[in-house]
């Protein structure tokens, strides 16, 4: 940026509306990432396409020398997703989900909470940061934007990080812009997440008439015994950052619709959210050991796409929590609550924390965000940038 060039300041509200108007329900992009590319290109960001299996992913990068030789470090990467969940019954919305309407100081639309405004707030914060520094600083700012977070998350952040690792382009720290605040800015930053393990427990029996139970083998009592053994287990007591590991059954099914037939087979589905005392592998081993104590025959299928992780308190967590506190006047809780996010993939490569806007209406009908929260988010992200590149 030369002295004759006016600084470029992005309008967070206008950019948010443009992004929300993209019908980017997973796996569609509908031009969402083009909106970001168009906004960030005038700031000097170079966009690279990392499409995988028809999932659009974009990495945008800006490196400045700070007056010295070209220097890519320190490198801060903002990670986020432009895909959104389906709207459900559109007739139930009082504001069209992709119209980005504003009423009484509130912006409505699918993805406005999770997490398009988090992305646009960081974009606007970067524009202010660059303007204040005459366009120059020492290091790299990048965006890793995926279109696969709300789906299976196989071809988005996870895949792109593998490619960036091979290219030697992993950042020094990552900020994931998921909406982290339950009620107001400054509530929480996420420094970790629980892992997730899903299981399907099968018991084989022999079908028969209920009037002749001696000719059948009812699998349900056995399945219930197996389920009770898991349900009665205390896996751990939790720790400073994580609640106790928790197993919940989500369905029991036989496929049987008759009340005079003993079913041939039965199955139960469950999910475990586990803390950092376990890995998916060690947890599965423990579950099988518990089931074996019952003496019942069973088969067990498991699936996990999320290990637990914790970013230890250090310089990066202090930068983020300090920035939040100076803007909001509130010291945020260092939290591991909630479901999974793409931060679980990032944690294998570099320190990662999550901080975004307000999470009150994520995935709901009439998803919304107070306009004031957008501008507050810009201030917090700007402060994070200032502190990170002051190192």
* 127-138 pLDDT per residue, tens: 999 999 998 899
Q: Counting every residue, how long is the chain?
A: 391
pLDDT reported for residue 339? 86
Tell me what pLDDT residue 67 has.
54
Average pLDDT over residues 312-331: 96
- CATH number attached to the domain at 195-306: 3.30.70.360
Q: What does the angle CA 75 – CA 77 – CA 80 come to, to the nearest 5 degrees? A: 180
- Averaged pLDDT for residues 337-343: 91
Q: How far apart are CA 31 and CA 369, in angstroms?
A: 22
pLDDT at res. 66: 67
In CATH terms, 12-193+308-388 corresponds, of 3.30.2130.10, 3.40.50.300, 3.40.462.20, 3.40.630.10, to 3.40.630.10
How far is the C-alpha of 251 from the C-alpha of 369, rounded, in Å? 34
For residue 152, give the nearest of 31, 338, 304, 359 by alpha carbon: 304
| Portion of the chain with pLDDT greater than 70, in percent | 97
d(CA 206, CA 222): 13
Average pLDDT score over the chain: 95
Mind giving me the DSSP string for 103-119?
A: ETTEEESTTIIIIIHHH
What is the C-alpha to C-alpha distance for residues 188 and 324, in angstroms, rounded to an integer? Answer: 9
The confidence score (pLDDT) of residue 338 equals 87
What pTM was computed for the model? 0.89
What's the CA gap between 256 and 15, in Å, rounded?
A: 53
What is the pLDDT, as a whole number, of residue 197? 97
Residues with catalytic function: 83, 149
Mean pLDDT of 172-187: 96
Query: How far is the C-alpha of 268 from the C-alpha of 203, rounded, in Å?
Result: 9
Above 90 in pLDDT, residue 352?
yes
* Termini Cα distance of the chain: 23
Does residue 263 carry a pLDDT above 50? yes
Is there a shared CATH topology between the 12-193+308-388 domain and the 195-306 domain?
no
Domain ranges of the chain: 12-193+308-388, 195-306
Q: Is the pLDDT of residue 369 over 60?
A: yes
As a whole-number percent, the residues of the chain with pLDDT over 90 amount to 93
| CB-CB neighbours of 66 under 10 Å | 13
């Amino acid at each position: 940026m030369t002295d004759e060039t006016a600084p470029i300041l992005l309008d967070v509200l206008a950019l948010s509306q443009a992004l929300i108007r993209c019908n980017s329900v997973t796996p569609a992009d509908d031009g969402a990432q083009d909106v970001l590319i168009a906004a960030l290109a005038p700031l000097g960001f170079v966009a690279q396409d990392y499409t995988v299996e028809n999932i659009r992913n974009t990495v945008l990068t800006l490196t400045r020398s700070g007056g010295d030789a070209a220097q890519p470090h320190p490198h801060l990467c903002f990670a986020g997703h432009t895909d959104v969940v389906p709207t459900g019954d559109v007739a139930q919305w009082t504001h069209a989900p992709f119209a980005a309407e504003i009423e009484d100081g509130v912006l409505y639309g699918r993805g406005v909470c999770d997490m398009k405004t988090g992305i646009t707030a960081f974009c606007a914060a970067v524009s202010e940061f660059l303007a204040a520094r005459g366009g120059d600083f020492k290091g790299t700012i990048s965006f890793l934007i995926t279109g696969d977070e709300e789906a299976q998350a196989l071809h988005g952040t996870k895949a792109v990080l593998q490619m960036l690792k091979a290219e030697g382009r992993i950042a020094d720290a990552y900020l994931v812009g998921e909406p982290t605040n339950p009620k107001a800015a400054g509530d929480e930053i996420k420094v970790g997440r629980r892992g997730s393990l899903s299981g399907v427990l099968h018991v084989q029996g022999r079908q028969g008439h209920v009037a002749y139970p001696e000719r059948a083998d009812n699998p349900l009592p056995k399945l219930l015994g197996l389920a009770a053994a898991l349900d009665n287990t205390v896996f751990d007591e939790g720790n400073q950052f994580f609640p106790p590991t928790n197993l919940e059954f989500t369905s029991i099914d036989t496929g049987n619709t008759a009340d005079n037939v003993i079913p041939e087979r039965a199955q139960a589905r469950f999910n475990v959210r586990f803390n950092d005392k376990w890995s998916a592998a060690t947890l599965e081993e423990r579950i099988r050991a518990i089931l074996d104590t019952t003496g019942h025959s069973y088969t067990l299928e498991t699936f996990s796409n999320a290990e637990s992780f914790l970013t230890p308190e250090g310089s990066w967590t202090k930068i983020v929590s300090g920035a939040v506190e100076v803007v909001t006047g509130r010291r945020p809780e260092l939290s591991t609550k909630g479901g999974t996010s793409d931060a679980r993939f990032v944690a294998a490569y570099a320190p990662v924390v999550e901080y975004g806007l307000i999470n009150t209406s994520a995935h709901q009908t009439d998803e919304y965000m107070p306009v004031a929260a957008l501008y507050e988010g810009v201030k917090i992200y700007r402060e994070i940038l200032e502190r990170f590149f002051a190192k």
